[in-house]
Amino acid sequence: MKFEVNAKLKYQVISDSTIILNIHALNNEHQKVMEERFTTNPSVKFKALKSLSAENRLMSIEIPPQENFSINYQAVVDNVFEIKDYTEVSDLVIAKLSPETLTYLHPSRYCQSDRLYRLANNMFGYKANDFAKVSALTHWIYLNVEYLSGSTNAQTSAYDTVTEQAGVCRDFAHLGIALCRALTIPARYFTGYSYLLSNPDFHACFEAYINGSWLLFDATKLVPLNGMIKIATGRDAADAAVASIFGDVNFVSSEASCQLLETDFEPFYADYLGANGISYL
């Protein structure tokens, strides 16, 4: 399914600074970037980086002092996904996981799964299989955590959200990831452009490793799961920040959007009560 995605970031740059951006759409065999344009105003030196493991496409830019500095990214991207039934799911075999996947069982900055073992198992351990467990915890987050802009900050973690029960998409994702890992299900953070998201922003949700694939879950239930263009995956938001700033830079504004370029889109809204799951690859 083809989408056009756009990102606009504005900064006030006080002193010579470096920004590491992570706003480029992934470009691999499952998600094709067909056209792409990256510009800054004024123009500056930039260098593309690629994280070996996760294929995330970073862009490092060096900026002299600048009252109004703007970044634009535009791309046409064709995503590929698969929706199928997960009534039957085979058990995870730890011994067969790659070291890369094992990593996503470890606790991380915002996903302290080591502190959630009893809670996760008390609440979701009895479910039939990993798909049912992750569906149930995603639905529980949806029901119990209030989506409340401004209620959290860059330091809020899953350990806070499980108790305080308010947050934004990033917090919903971190809690989902932490609960999965506490149930011994590898889980990772997912950022992307999201079709039909009402506020013009980047979106975050999470992937859980089930039956040998990474399935997508979104406890906010704000958008159709098949309208995502993936930017990055990582352990949590510390790995996949839209922009990492080094220097004296003030954030001014940020916008992201995603437009459909085709006509036959059938939105897939997972309610996490059934057995259908979706994987991007």
Q: Where on the chain is the footprint of a copy of itself (CB under 8 A)?
A: 18, 20, 45, 47, 49-53, 56, 58, 60-62, 94-95, 98-100, 102-103, 105-109, 112, 114-116, 118-119, 122, 144, 146, 154-155, 159, 162-166, 184, 238-239, 244, 246
Based on DSSP, count helices (H) and strands (E) in the chain, helices before strands.
5, 16
Task: Give all strands (DSSP E) within the chain, no chain letters.
Answer: 2-13, 17-21, 31-41, 45-50, 57-63, 66-79, 81-85, 146-147, 166-167, 187-194, 203-210, 213-217, 228-234, 243-246, 249-260, 276-280
Parallel, antiparallel, or unpaired: how do β-strands 228-234 and 187-194 relate?
A: antiparallel
Task: Indicate the residue among 48 and 275 with the shorter CB distance to a copy of itself.
Answer: 48
| Closest distance of CB 20 from a copy of itself, Å | 7
| Closest distance of CB 120 from a copy of itself, Å | 10
Beta-carbon contacts of residue 272 (< 8 Å; ≥ 6 apart): 135, 136, 138, 139, 142, 217
| Closest distance of CB 1 from a copy of itself, Å | 29
Task: Indicate the residue among 12 and 151 with the shorter CB distance to a copy of itself.
Answer: 151
| Closest distance of CB 223 from a copy of itself, Å | 24
Task: Indicate the residue among 2 and 127 with the shorter CB distance to a copy of itself.
Answer: 127
Task: Indicate the residue among 173 and 223 with the shorter CB distance to a copy of itself.
Answer: 173
Task: Indicate the residue among 35 and 91 with the shorter CB distance to a copy of itself.
Answer: 91
Distances (CA, A) of 268 to 83, 84, 199, 225: 9, 11, 19, 6
Q: How many residues does the chain have?
A: 281
| Closest distance of CB 51 from a copy of itself, Å | 4
